[in-house]
Amino acid sequence: MTPAEVRAALAAARRVAVLTGAGVSAESGIPTFRDAQTGHWARFRPEDLASPEAYWRDPELVWDWYAGRYRDVTAAQPNAAHLLLARLEREKGAGFFLATQNVDGLHGRAGSGTLGGTLAELHGNLTHARDEVTGEVYPLPPPDLLTVPPTSPAGNRMRPNVVWFGENLPADALAAAQDAFAAADVALVIGTSGAVYPAAGLAAWTLRRGGIVAEINPQVTDLTLHMTLSLRATAAEGLRALLG
């Protein structure tokens, strides 16, 4: 299938589902999870910081790491890819579903999830924290006012509101994403390696029912061979080609 044919299918589609990964935020200057291991943090593996075991062992160390990432994403701005996806949501309304593996909150800041469609942050959002006792989620204060570990209004310690190694994705969000991809006329898989399941399996739900799936990624991925169309492009370049 050609880009022009996918562009026409997208324009006609009543239901569109999108999966995004770290590549979507690259043009906002957000390093990937592993690329963020620089300076003092280079001596740690991400798995040593992003797991329940690491947190219970040394919550202040883990929070120091996440506080730095929180500063980075707060300083960043949504890029053209985020804004184009928000525009697509505005066009499709309730027929649009965006599932993201990113925890930087940039899709929401671009308007996604507020324009008639649905935004599912499959791996959480590091601009929020979760009360360890009640499970309630609260936005973090601005980075310059953040004291770690933070406490909830109830006085309980809070943990980063992200999915760690060894933890399951939120069941409701995953089920909603699977339903959306199964119902989609056209699906887009953007800036993700396709190596992390179960999110990487979402495209298969669309393909299984005869829908179209287009991949946008500068690199060949584990999903490329199965795609209806695979564009070797950045997120913004690929979306401009498919959305006009």
Counting residues of the chain whose pLDDT is more than 90, the rounded percentage is 86
Q: Are residues 238 and 135 in the same domain?
A: no
At residue 198, the pLDDT reads 86
Instruction: Determine the structural domain holding residue 213 and report its residue range.
Output: 3-30+78-123+169-243
Q: Which residue has the tokens 């309730």?
A: 94
Q: Are residues 142 and 188 in the same domain?
A: no
Tell me what the pLDDT averaged over the chain comes to.
Answer: 93
207-228 pLDDT tens trace: 999 999 999 999 999 999 999 9
At residue 210, the pLDDT reads 95
Alpha helices of the chain — where are they, by DSSP H?
A: 3-12, 22-26, 52-57, 59-75, 80-92, 106-110, 171-183, 202-208, 235-243
Q: In this structure, are residues 96 and 19 in contact, taking their beta carbons and an 8 Å threshold?
A: no
Q: Which residue has the tokens 């798995």?
A: 47
* pLDDT confidence band for 164 (50 / 70 / 90): very high
Q: Are residues 96 and 215 in the same domain?
A: yes
Q: Are residues 116 and 158 in the same domain?
A: no
58-83 pLDDT tens trace: 999 999 999 999 999 999 999 999 99
Q: Are residues 157 and 185 in the same domain?
A: no
Q: Are residues 175 and 215 in the same domain?
A: yes
At residue 45, the pLDDT reads 78
Alpha-carbon span 122 to 167, nearest angstrom: 12
Q: Are residues 174 and 119 in the same domain?
A: yes
CATH no. for residue 142? 3.30.1600.10
| Among the listed residues 240, 196, 190, the one whose alpha carbon sits nearest the alpha carbon of residue 219 | 190
82 among known catalytic residues: no
Q: Are residues 15 and 83 in the same domain?
A: yes
Q: Are residues 58 and 138 in the same domain?
A: yes
Q: Are residues 134 and 228 in the same domain?
A: no
Q: Two tokens at 76?
A: 């960043």
Straight-line distance from the first to the last Cα atom of the chain, in angstroms, rounded to the nearest whole number: 17
Instruction: State the pTM of this model.
Output: 0.93
State which amino acid sits at residue 240: R
78-91 pLDDT tens trace: 999 999 999 999 99
Q: Are residues 68 and 135 in the same domain?
A: yes
CATH no. for residue 105? 3.40.50.1220
The number of domains in the chain is 2
Q: Are residues 201 and 145 in the same domain?
A: no
Alpha-carbon span 52 to 48, nearest angstrom: 10
Please tell me which residue in 82, 123, 128, 226 is annotated as part of the active site: 123
